[in-house]
Chains A and B, each alone.
Chain A
Amino acid sequence: MSSAHTWVVVLLLAATSAPALAQPQGTDDGSTALRAALLAAARDRKAGESAPPRRGRIERALYRYDNSAVATPFILQPWHGFQLAGGGFPAGAGTGVGVGFTHDLGRTRAAADPNRANRLAIDALGAYGTRGYSRVAAGFDMLRLAGAPLDVRVSGQHYEFPQQDFFGFTQDSRKEDRTNYLMRSTEGGAEVRWQATRLIDVAGGVFYLTPGIGSGTDSRYPSTDGFFNPAAIPGFKDQPDFIRTDASVALDWRDNPLHPHAGGRYGLDFSDYRDRDLDTFGFRKVSIDLQQYLPIPNRYRTIALHAAAVFTDPRSGQQVPFYFEPTLGGAQALRGFREFRFQDRHSVLATAEYRWEAWWALDGAVFVDAGMVAADRHDFALRDVDVSYGIGFRVHSNSAFVARLDLAFSREGFIPLLRFEHAF
Chain B
Amino acid sequence: MPSKPVVRFMPRRLALVCAVAAIGVAVASAPRLGAQKLESWTKSPERRFYPDDPIWRDGDTRDIPPVAAYDLSKSYEFLNETFGGSVQSRGPALNVNTLGEVPDSSWFTNRIGRNDMTIEEVVRGPNQVDGPAPGTWHVTGRPDSGITPKFTIRDGRGDVYMIKLDPAKFPELPSSVEVISTKIFHAIGYHVPEDFIVTFEPSRLTVAEGARIRTESGKKRPIERADVEQWLKNVPRATDGSIRALASRYVPGKVVGQYRYSGMRPDDPNDIYPHERRRELRGLRVFAAWLNHDDARSINSIDTYVQDHGGRYIRHYLQDFGSNLGSGSTSAQQPRGGYEYLIEGDKIARGLVSFGLWTRAWMKVPYPSNPSLGNIEADFFEPSKWKTEYPQPAFDQMDAADGFWAASIASRFSDQMIEAIVGTGELSNPDAARYLTDVIIRRRDKVVAYWIVRTNPIDRFAVTRTSTGAELTFENAAMRLHVAAGTASYQARWLALDNTAGTERAAGDELASNAPRLAIPDEAWGPADASGFRYAIASIKTVQPDHKDWLAPVLVTVRDRHGELDIVGIERSAANVTPNQ
Q: Which residues of A contact B (CB under 8 A)?
A: 1-2, 4-5, 8-9, 12-24, 26, 28-31, 33-36, 38-40, 42-44, 46-47, 50-53, 55-56, 58-59, 62-63, 65-70, 73-81, 83-88, 100-102, 107-113, 116, 123-125, 135, 137-139, 141, 153, 155, 157, 189, 191, 193, 203, 205, 207, 246, 248, 269, 271, 298, 300-301, 354, 356-360, 362, 364, 366, 393, 395, 398, 402-403, 420
Choose among B10, B49, B215, B224 the residue with the greatest number of A CB atoms under 10 Å from its CB. Answer: B10
A300 to B100, CA, bound (A): 45
B42: chain A residues within 8 A (beta carbon): 13
Given contacts A30-B530, A74-B15, 6 further A-B contacts (CB under 8 A): A20-B569, A29-B530, A76-B16, A138-B6, A358-B348, A403-B14
A203: chain B residues within 8 A (beta carbon): 1
Choose among B3, B6, B42, B43 the residue with the greatest number of A CB atoms under 10 Å from its CB. Answer: B6
- Select B272's contact among A8, A53, A157, beta carbons within 8 Å: A8
A139: chain B residues within 8 A (beta carbon): 5-6
Query: Judging by beta carbons under 8 Å apart, are A359 and B347 in contact?
Result: yes
Any chain A CB within 8 A of the CB of B230? Answer: yes
Which of B88-96, B113-121, B246-254, B516-524 contacts its partner? B88-96
Any chain A CB within 8 A of the CB of B17? Answer: yes
Question: In the complex, how many angstroms separate the beta carbon of B90 from the nearest chain A beta carbon?
Answer: 10
A19 to B96, CA, bound (A): 7
Query: Judging by beta carbons under 8 Å apart, are B98 and A40 in contact?
Result: no
A309 to B72, CA, bound (A): 54
A70: chain B residues within 8 A (beta carbon): 218
Query: Judging by beta carbons under 8 Å apart, are A364 and B356 in contact?
Result: yes
Question: Can you pick out 26 interface pairs between chain A and chain B where the beta carbons lie within 8 Å of each other?
Answer: A1-B88, A13-B42, A17-B502, A18-B569, A33-B47, A47-B64, A50-B266, A52-B70, A52-B267, A53-B267, A58-B30, A59-B76, A62-B73, A63-B71, A63-B76, A74-B15, A81-B217, A84-B15, A86-B8, A108-B227, A111-B216, A137-B6, A246-B1, A357-B356, A403-B14, A420-B10
- Select B2's contact among A4, A76, A135, A246, beta carbons within 8 Å: A246
Query: Judging by beta carbons under 8 Å apart, are B62 and A43 in contact?
Result: yes
A26 to B57, CA, bound (A): 24
A248 to B233, CA, bound (A): 31
B359: chain A residues within 8 A (beta carbon): 300-301
Query: Judging by beta carbons under 8 Å apart, are A9 and B8 in contact?
Result: no
Query: Judging by beta carbons under 8 Å apart, are A40 and B227 in contact?
Result: no
A30 to B13, CA, bound (A): 66
- Select A84's contact among B11, B23, B95, beta carbons within 8 Å: B11
Query: Judging by beta carbons under 8 Å apart, are A9 and B6 in contact?
Result: no
B273: chain A residues within 8 A (beta carbon): 12
- Select A39's contact among B37, B67, B272, B364, beta carbons within 8 Å: B272
Give B41-77 as 1s and 0s: 1 = Cβ < 8 Å from A's Cβ atoms: 1111111111111110111101010011011111110
Question: In the complex, how many angstroms separate the beta carbon of A292 from the nearest chain B beta carbon?
Answer: 18
Question: In the complex, how many angstroms separate the beta carbon of B75 from the nearest chain A beta carbon?
Answer: 4
A63 to B42, CA, bound (A): 39
Query: Judging by beta carbons under 8 Å apart, are B76 and A358 in contact?
Result: no
Query: Judging by beta carbons under 8 Å apart, are B67 and A52 in contact?
Result: yes
A1/B363 contact (C-beta < 8 A), A23-B47, A43-B62, A109-B216 known: no
Q: Interface of chain B, helix or strand or loop or mixed?
A: loop
A43/B60 contact (C-beta < 8 A), A4-B266, A75-B19 known: yes
A85 to B8, CA, bound (A): 6
Query: Judging by beta carbons under 8 Å apart, are B356 and A301 in contact?
Result: yes
A113: chain B residues within 8 A (beta carbon): 230, 233
Question: In the complex, how many angstroms separate the beta carbon of A29 from the nearest chain B beta carbon?
Answer: 7
| Nearest B-chain residue to A356, judged by Cβ | B356
A362: chain B residues within 8 A (beta carbon): 348, 351-352
A138: chain B residues within 8 A (beta carbon): 6
| Nearest A-chain residue to B47, judged by Cβ | A30
- Select B356's contact among A19, A43, A189, A354, beta carbons within 8 Å: A354
A46/B272 contact (C-beta < 8 A), A28-B47, A70-B218 known: yes
- Select B100's contact among A20, A35, A50, beta carbons within 8 Å: A20
A31 to B10, CA, bound (A): 73
Give B353-368 as 1s and 0s: 1 = Cβ < 8 Å from A's Cβ atoms: 0111001000110000
Question: In the complex, how many angstroms separate the beta carbon of B23 from the nearest chain A beta carbon?
Answer: 7
A109 to B218, CA, bound (A): 12
| Nearest B-chain residue to A397, judged by Cβ | B16
A79 to B92, CA, bound (A): 49
Query: Judging by beta carbons under 8 Å apart, are B27 and A17 in contact?
Result: no
Query: Judging by beta carbons under 8 Å apart, are A21 and B216 in contact?
Result: no
A403/B97 contact (C-beta < 8 A), A1-B37, A23-B47 known: no
A28: chain B residues within 8 A (beta carbon): 46-47
| Nearest A-chain residue to B73, judged by Cβ | A63
Question: In the complex, how many angstroms separate the beta carbon of A297 from the nearest chain B beta carbon?
Answer: 9
A85: chain B residues within 8 A (beta carbon): 7-9, 11
A44 to B63, CA, bound (A): 11
CB-based closest 4 A-B pairs? A356-B356, A69-B218, A358-B351, A17-B44
Interface residues in B330-376 by Cβ distance below 8 A to A read 334, 336, 340, 342, 347-348, 351-352, 354-356, 359, 363-364
| Nearest B-chain residue to A355, judged by Cβ | B356
Query: Judging by beta carbons under 8 Å apart, are B91 and A420 in contact?
Result: no
Query: Judging by beta carbons under 8 Å apart, are B272 and A62 in contact?
Result: no
Question: In the complex, how many angstroms separate the beta carbon of A130 from the nearest chain B beta carbon?
Answer: 14
Query: Judging by beta carbons under 8 Å apart, are B96 and A21 in contact?
Result: yes
A68: chain B residues within 8 A (beta carbon): 218
Choose among B43, B55, B96, B334 the residue with the greatest number of A CB atoms under 10 Å from its CB. Answer: B55
Choose among A21, A73, A124, A155 the residue with the greatest number of B CB atoms under 10 Å from its CB. Answer: A21
A146 to B502, CA, bound (A): 84
B529: chain A residues within 8 A (beta carbon): 30
Any chain A CB within 8 A of the CB of B481? Answer: no
- Select A21's contact among B89, B103, B347, B363, beta carbons within 8 Å: B103
| Nearest A-chain residue to B95, judged by Cβ | A21
| Nearest B-chain residue to A34, judged by Cβ | B52
Query: Judging by beta carbons under 8 Å apart, are A100 and B73 in contact?
Result: no
Query: Judging by beta carbons under 8 Å apart, are A43 and B6 in contact?
Result: no
Query: Judging by beta carbons under 8 Å apart, are A17 and B43 in contact?
Result: yes
Interface residues in B549-563 by Cβ distance below 8 A to A read none
A205 to B62, CA, bound (A): 73
- Select B230's contact among A44, A108, A193, beta carbons within 8 Å: A108
- Select A46's contact among B10, B39, B269, beta carbons within 8 Å: B269
A155/B6 contact (C-beta < 8 A), A16-B94, A20-B97 known: yes
B1: chain A residues within 8 A (beta carbon): 191, 193, 203, 205, 246, 248, 269
Question: In the complex, how many angstroms separate the beta carbon of B444 from the nearest chain A beta carbon?
Answer: 27
Any chain A CB within 8 A of the CB of B204? Answer: no
B41: chain A residues within 8 A (beta carbon): 13, 19
Query: Judging by beta carbons under 8 Å apart, are A356 and B264 in contact?
Result: no
- Select B265's contact among A53, A116, A395, beta carbons within 8 Å: A53
Question: In the complex, how many angstroms separate the beta carbon of B380 from the nearest chain A beta carbon?
Answer: 14
